[in-house]
């Protein structure tokens, strides 16, 4: 039998109740990983966990909000208590909405940054407490092309992803000598529930004009890249 890419690994995937997060959790499980799925909404998360378990895979769900440090610690401790270790952290949970700068008040900016920047930072800092003693680990941050190319209608979201891009580089350099890898995936427009809800058809068509392939990405395509970066093949 051919070895799976993530055999024996234990992973945390945030924002895992639907969309790209769910797809990543499913692909990780199929590649042999034990997965702790986390998201804020209990009901959606329970349904997502049951869906993957029904396929015969070992996953656990923990309802948590990455804006809360104690919740982040709870998710990490669940991985240790349930599976005995932690090898991979996927920071996928994020929020965003089309708002021009004059529509972006302090409350919304802080809300986005707490989820998109502070949350991943908390997961990185707390997971390093597990990774550093064993001198290995893998962190993958799901960023966005919006963190590189300005989108005037996504002021808070785009700037938060630019922050994640910098944080990824910093952690990658800082922890390289400890054999801890940190990468970011920067998807363009991807066919998720959130995109369908938040972006109009006119906007999606306009976006496609700037994509050479003239297609919207699929969650499975993003997930495949994440699996690679999580595996030893990307060492």
Q: What Rg value do the Cα atoms of the chain yield, rounded?
A: 17
Pick the catalytic residue: 18, 22, 57, 157? Answer: 157
CA dihedral 106, 109, 111, 117 (to 10 degrees): -140
φ and ψ of 121, to 5 deg: -60, -45
Say which residues have a Cβ less than 8 Å from residue 9's Cβ, sequence separation at least 6.
28, 32, 33, 34, 87, 88, 230
State how far the Cα of 4 lies from the Cα of 11, in Å rounded to an integer: 15
State how far the Cα of 176 lies from the Cα of 11, in Å rounded to an integer: 20
Asked if 22 is an active-site residue, the reply is no
Helix or strand or coil: residue 61? Answer: strand
State how far the Cα of 204 lies from the Cα of 105, in Å rounded to an integer: 25
Q: Are 69 and 114 in contact (CB under 8 A)?
A: no
Q: Which residues are known catalytic residues?
A: 157
């Amino acid at each position: 039998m051919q070895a799976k890419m993530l055999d024996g690994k234990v992973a945390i995937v945030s924002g895992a109740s639907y969309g790209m997060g769910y797809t990543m959790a499913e692909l990780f499980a199929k590649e042999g990983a034990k997965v702790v799925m986390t998201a804020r909404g209990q009901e959606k998360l329970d349904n997502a966990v049951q869906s993957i378990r029904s396929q015969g895979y070992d996953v656990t769900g923990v309802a948590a909000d990455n804006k809360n440090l104690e919740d982040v610690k709870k998710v990490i401790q669940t991985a240790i208590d349930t599976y005995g270790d932690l090898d991979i952290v996927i920071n996928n949970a994020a929020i965003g909405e089309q708002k021009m700068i004059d529509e972006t008040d302090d409350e919304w900016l802080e809300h986005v940054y707490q989820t998109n920047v502070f949350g991943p930072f908390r997961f990185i800092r707390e997971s390093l407490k597990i990774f550093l003693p064993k001198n290995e680990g893998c962190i993958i941050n799901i960023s966005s092309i919006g963190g590189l190319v300005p989108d005037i209608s996504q002021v808070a979201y785009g700037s938060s992803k630019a922050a994640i891009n910098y944080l990824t580089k910093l952690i990658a350099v800082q922890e390289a000598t400890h054999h801890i890898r940190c990468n970011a995936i920067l998807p363009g427009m991807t066919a998720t529930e959130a995109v369908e809800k938040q972006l109009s058809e006119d906007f999606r068509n306009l976006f496609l004009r700037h994509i050479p392939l003239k297609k919207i990405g699929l969650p499975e395509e993003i997930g495949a890249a994440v699996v690679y970066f999580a595996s030893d093949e990307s060492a």
